[in-house]
Amino acid sequence: MSPPVRFTPIRMHALLTRRRLADNPDQHRDYTRYLAQRMGPMIHALMLVAGLAYLVAISAGTLVHASPLSWSLRLAPVLPLLLLAALARRVQQPRLLSLLALLCVALLEIGVNLDGIGHLPGQPWIMPGLLLPVASSVVWLETWDFAIAMALCAFGPLPMLLSSATSGMHMVQYLVYMVIAIALSAVLRAFMTRTLFEQYRLERQLREQVNTDGLTGLLLRNRFLELGRLALCDISRQQKPMCMLFLDADHFKQLNDDHGHAAGDDALVALAATLRAQTRETDLIGRIGGEEFALLLPGLNLRQAGERAERLRLAVHSIRRPDGALTVSIGIAECSHVGEAIESLLARADQAMRRAKNGGRDRVVSG
């Protein structure tokens, strides 16, 4: 029987985010955008409920006690709250969404102060302020907005507390209740964050499995063409060159026939590792067919791509197969005009690779 799993949400969250996100800014941004997409509707709904709840609370409060402030002044935060809720429905940028939620909390704290004016000592005027940390605990996308929100909740009612004849006992009571509310909020947020991160991680793994080759870990043909299409558009706007390399492992069928598919798989894995070692972060690498691979090289002209291909051809010689060194035939094609389709560029590189095959293999040919 496997040992029981120990749930330590705050520690688990720290480990997950620190190891997998902090060292990878791109993945951190992707994760934050994912949170904004998943939690955006909930943030909008909670902001809308907050505005309507405040309206109901103020209306009901007029029946309980008289206030020195006019009813219209105490209702002043309602319209901004509803406007923020309407804006949140259209916002997808994570940081802006967090700022809107923080503004909502600030307006609610202003409302708590306005509604508290005129309360007699001992009345439960502070309860709305104690509910805010817990009610908003699950909507914060990052640590910074959670910390600011909790500070607003803790210090927001202080102007009313300090300006009224609040006894020391009520002040201590408020501080104890607020500490408990914020601690509970931290626990709820930790559980929510861990759950969402695990969901994000699993969805990311599924996307990678769909888009990458299980043996080599390289992009599959369709995903390679999809990303290549986007890269081609970007490089065309920048008016920079771009080249495509098409590689084919020489005599690969003979390797499979003579030594088995396991030997062929080992050669493909080693070839994929060599391709990664020889390319930049901006390059795209895809497995187009069985032993066929393609590299998209943004920013390189035909001469530069030829030098890169030659280094790659020589690097592949270090891969040993049972019957000798592995070799590849490489074809190169440069994007000829603005608007050329990625399929056309790949086809021209494929044709150049076939000429390399026909010319004796283990060579580079430009299209």
Residues in the chain: 367
- DSSP bridge pairs for 296: 244, 284
Q: What is the C-alpha separation between 365 and 354, in angstroms, rounded? A: 9
pLDDT in the model for residue 15? 37
Phi, psi angles (nearest 5°) of residue 52? -70, -40
* Tokens matching residue 326: 């592995």
The model's pTM:
0.58
Q: What is the C-alpha separation between 202 and 312, in angstroms, rounded? A: 35
Looking at 23-32, 230-239, 289-298, which range is the least confident one? 23-32
Q: What is the C-alpha separation between 164 and 218, in angstroms, rounded? A: 67
Residue with tokens 């501080």: 175
Where residue 126 falls among pLDDT bands split at 50, 70, 90?
Answer: low
**Position 242, amino acid:** M
pLDDT in the model for residue 12? 34
pLDDT at 64 over 80: no
pLDDT digits (tens, 9 = 90+) for 199-227: 888 887 787 777 888 899 899 999 999 99
pLDDT digits (tens, 9 = 90+) for 2-27: 343 333 333 333 333 444 554 567 67
284-287/328-334 β-pairing: unpaired
Enzyme catalytic residues? 291
pLDDT in the model for residue 117? 67
Where residue 59 falls among pLDDT bands split at 50, 70, 90?
Answer: confident
Nearest to 44 by CA among 84, 103, 96, 99: 84
In the three-class reduction of DSSP (H, G, I as helix; E, B as strand; rest coil), residue 124 is classed as coil
Where residue 68 falls among pLDDT bands split at 50, 70, 90?
Answer: low
* Tokens matching residue 229: 């299409």
320-321/324-325 β-pairing: antiparallel
Write the CB contacts of 60 (distance below 8 Å, at least 6 apart in sequence). none
**265: how many CB neighbours lie within 10 A of its CB?**
13
Q: What is the C-alpha separation between 101 and 132, in angstroms, rounded? A: 12
Write the CB contacts of 228 (distance below 8 Å, at least 6 apart in sequence). 284, 286, 296, 342, 345, 346
pLDDT digits (tens, 9 = 90+) for 239-269: 899 999 999 999 999 999 999 999 999 999 9
pLDDT digits (tens, 9 = 90+) for 306-357: 999 999 999 999 999 998 999 999 999 999 887 889 999 999 999 999 999 9
Beta strands (DSSP E) in 106-257 are: 219-220, 242-249
pLDDT digits (tens, 9 = 90+) for 174-192: 888 889 989 999 999 998 8
Q: What is the mean pLDDT of residues 98-110?
A: 91
pLDDT digits (tens, 9 = 90+) for 138-164: 889 889 999 999 999 888 887 777 766
